[in-house]
Chain A
Amino acid sequence: MTERLFEGADWDFHTLQRITDACEEVALKDLGLDVYPNQIEVITAEQMLDAYSSVGMPLFYKHWSFGKQFAYHEASYRKGLMGLAYEIVINSSPCISYLMEENTATMQTLVIAHAAFGHNHFFKNNYLFKQWTDADGILDYLDFAKNYVMQCEDRYGRTEVERTLDAAHALMSHGIDRYPGKKKLDLREEEKRAGRRRQHEEEVFNDLWRTVPKGVSKTRSAISLERRRKLLGLPQENLLYFLEKSAPRLAPWQRELLRIVRHIAQYFYPQSQTKVMNEGTATYVHYRIMTKLHEQGRITDGNFLEFLGSHTNVVFQPEFDDQRFSGFNPYALGFAMMQDIERIVTRPEDEDREWFPDIAGKNDVMGVLRDVWANYRDESFIAQFLSPKLMRQLRMFHLHDDPEERAGIRVDAIHDDRGFRRVRRELARQHDVGYIDANIEVVDVDLSGDRRLILHHHVIKGSQLNETDAKRVLQHLADLWTYDVSLIEVDANDKVLREYVVSPRPITAAA
């Protein structure tokens, strides 16, 4: 029998090393995972709280909103309202996993298997992450961002920088490119680019230009609407990108700040689209690794039971009428689907052969799963792989809540032959970020008139913007644009439902 990795609950750094080696063996040989080099860091509860307040990243620029986050988490942690995560993992190369110091040896094994191999593999192989994130560059980029923000504060004053960042944060969810097309970001280049731009400005600076008379401006009537929109790249749904490139009166450093916020939003974009898959993958991987270690006799029965205890907690899915219910648990759904795929691949039933002819009975579980992990996001994953059996098992049903409907909320589909596809489509849609976020885009700028920026919100299913928030965000937007901004909510038939117009605040009056 192989030697045990540890006895009891205590661990030290040698134990961690042994655990990691053992997990690695299973992950690479048995599961065929492909991971970034691992870096494992042991942290305290306080450091975990720190990490929470900077979206899990080890370094981040300074901003009051992170302090607010911290205060909030700390208060609820102290009151015992909230437990802390066992780990945090960062999509970077090397892949950094933070482990809490108070975890037992079993928990550390679980967490290493989960984060350092499960998440790590997913980060390295999923197409969204490959497309949108630069794992090699992110830490350097954050370092650059932090220093850049600091320099800006020194040069232009903290209030000014804060104003710009506040505004940028408000627009963060609409600072994302949703479709690939431009080249992949090279975050390492970013820092050099900012430096070059500043240098260029300094080199070509000549005070004489200021004194040169402006000359007659070109006749503007010639520019047609179509041409104008094309020049500005409209319609544009990445509001931060649009402002960075086209806002008339922003200083170069403000544009750079918008760019930083935009890049960071983009970096996190794949994560928000792959919650179910990411957690499903990591949970499935830790389950496989732990089971294997137990089979090999490297962890005791007692430790394995401890693991099963936490594992079942993690993948617990309360039912809709349960007090604890708060939507689908991505761990539960993801893990259940991964296991279900394993079943379809190895022990398919007739129904599965009909629904999943490509994978049913293929017998190469890891081959299929690795392919799934690489090429899908939550929405397409659910749309493709949620099986009737799992829908029956979880007893899924679809509710349709039309406020006009007097009778109440209609049950639109349940887990029966008529409903499977509809339930699955709806659930997939619930996980489509593009569908959840409000669809807002810049449609026009009145360049010949008062330079008003015109945005459209394409209302889907009658769901309009929250008024208070919308006004505040638009205020920020107007402050950056420095002219009036109007947002028009239109429904599918181009009927105008509501119009907001906001004027920029004079700079001194803003607090």
Chain B
Amino acid sequence: MPIHIIDRRLNPGGKSLENRQRFLRRAKSLVQGAVKKTSQERDIKDVLEGGEVTIPLDGMHEPRFRRQGGTRDMVLPGNKKFIEGDYLQRSGQGSAKDSGPGEGDGEDAFRFVLSRDEFVDLFLDDLELPDLAKRKVAQTESEGIQRAGYTTSGSPSNISVSRTVRLALARRIALKRPSKDELEELEAAIAACTDEDERAELVAQLEKLRAKSKRIPFIDPLDIRYRRFETVPKPVAQAVMFCLMDVSGSMSEHMKDLAKRFYMLLYVFLKRRYKHVEIVFIRHTDRAEEVDEQTFFYGPASGGTLVSSALQAMHEIVRERFNPSDWNIYAAQASDGDNSYSDGELTGMLLTDKILPVCQFFAYLEVGESGGSAFDLSDSSLWTLYDRLRNSGAPLSMRKVSERSEIFPVFHDLFQRRETAKEKAAP
């Protein structure tokens, strides 16, 4: 009996992918809820790690007719001491024994693991970047290669065999090159032929055909075709993200932590939309400087507070390195709201005249101490200023945050799909 042994290990994997996607699509709202819940409990840096989520079974339930209750009979192994007519106490023992195959019985939640990509997708699914379309500028950073028909010249590695053979065949037919069968037939006829004259004639004919097939080559250089490729410029959307933060003495570790979380979310979000994302960190006290990430979050600094200095620095960097026609510019500013009173005028002017016109999006995040409700206090000087600017039509987004758990909702709120997010009043 023939036995086939087949190695399937190299078959393409992911056979269940489609079913899995169907499942996720169906459970989308449930999974999304679970993802948000999970992500709130996590540190930002592993917010996107994927991982296990739990969704209620309810919406995903597959019902069957099941029976329950009533009188039950069961046969069990391992009797040690019972004799007929004994009674066993119920005390949960009975039900524990008959767990049987009832798969979904006590199950009210369904756990499974999401991959990193699935997690991020669901995490950011209903968020949208403002003005994404405005400046999707093509930068010919990379060139893609694309098939573009056939050519008569090229490198040997690009020979298109099928096309070449096809042309050769067409040419041979057109020029009536004798086929191998034809020659063999003739040879057989000669071998079988007895009559001398006829034989001589056949031989002559054979010679003629042989000569012809020599004249007409099997494959002519004319037949050879090469696959042609052409390079096409691939537009690369790129973005720069400015992180502005007040690092003056009034900013506590907690506040910086809140700001950091917000920046990271923003980074992840941008990273998903743009192929290339640059980050510029600008910290300021009463003067601003561009620093690396480490210094930005942990470097010690002290001094007064002049917000305008940061805006000025940003403006200069934009002018030097990030041409607004080539870059999508996003800025997020975090501060506790303190600003030198005399600086208000300048800040407002810089913002409306220089910064906002080149920015896709400018978010201001006012961070507060943990536990202290930001709403009780009177508005800070910066908040008042920005609020005034916004009311006069400047495209500013601003929120107040004082707890870690608020970061995601605030972020979510800021980037909600446009229709719903239009100029919401400040909370």
Q: Please give the residue numbers on chain A whose beta carbons come within 8 Å of chain B beta carbons, in ascending order.
A: 13, 16-17, 20-21, 24, 35, 37-44, 46-47, 49-50, 53-54, 62-68, 70-72, 74-75, 78, 94, 98, 101, 162, 166, 169-170, 172-174, 317-322, 325-328, 394-403, 407-416, 418-419, 423, 426-427, 429-430, 437-438, 440, 457, 459-466, 468-470, 472-473, 476
Contacts and interface: CB of A to CB of B under 8 A. Distances in A.
A100 B80 CA distance: 40
A63 B26 CA distance: 11
Give the contact-size bracket for chain B. 35 or more
B97 A418 contact: no
Contacts of B378: none
Contacts of B19: 53-54, 62-64, 66-67, 70
A395 to B, nearest CB: 4
A411 B85 contact: yes
A325 B82 CA distance: 18
A39 B20 contact: no
B78 A170 contact: no
Top-8 shortest CB links A-B: A319-B78, A463-B70, A67-B23, A67-B19, A462-B70, A472-B63, A71-B112, A320-B76
Contacts of B78: 318-322, 325, 394-395
Contact of B8 (A24, A43, A172, A415): A43
B87 A42 contact: no
A461 B70 contact: yes
B9 interface: yes
Contact of A473 (B65, B70, B74): B65
At the interface, is chain A mostly helix, strand, loop or mixed? mixed
B100 to A, nearest CB: 6
B422 interface: no
B156 interface: no
Given A395-B77, A398-B74, A399-B88, A466 B112 contact: no
B113 interface: yes
Interface in B319-370: none
28 contacts: A17-B3, A35-B1, A37-B1, A47-B11, A53-B16, A67-B21, A68-B110, A74-B113, A75-B113, A162-B26, A173-B64, A173-B65, A318-B78, A321-B80, A322-B78, A327-B100, A395-B78, A399-B75, A401-B94, A402-B71, A410-B85, A438-B65, A463-B67, A463-B68, A463-B70, A466-B65, A473-B63, A473-B65
B215 interface: no
A280 to B, nearest CB: 15
Contact of B23 (A37, A41, A64, A460): A64
Contacts of B73: 398-401, 412, 426, 429-430, 461
A426 B75 CA distance: 7
Interface in B83-138: 83-90, 93-94, 97-101, 110-113
A35 B97 CA distance: 38
A399 B98 CA distance: 11
Contacts of B64: 170, 172-173, 469, 473
Nearest to A333: B77
Nearest to B6: A41
B66 interface: yes
A409 B70 contact: no
A468 B84 CA distance: 37
Contacts of B24: 67
B5 interface: yes
A322 B76 CA distance: 11
Given A41-B6, A64-B19, A423-B75, A170 B62 contact: yes
Contacts of B371: none
Interface in B30-85: 52, 60-80, 82-85
Nearest to B86: A411
Interface string B2-22: 111111110101011011111
A42 B77 CA distance: 37
Contacts of A403: 69-71
Contacts of B5: 13, 16-17, 20, 39-42
Given A38-B3, A64-B25, 6 more contacts: A37-B4, A66-B23, A67-B20, A325-B78, A397-B75, A466-B67
Nearest to B23: A67
Nearest to A51: B15
A408 B22 contact: no
Contacts of B110: 68, 72
Nearest to B77: A394
A68 B83 contact: no
A317 B77 contact: yes
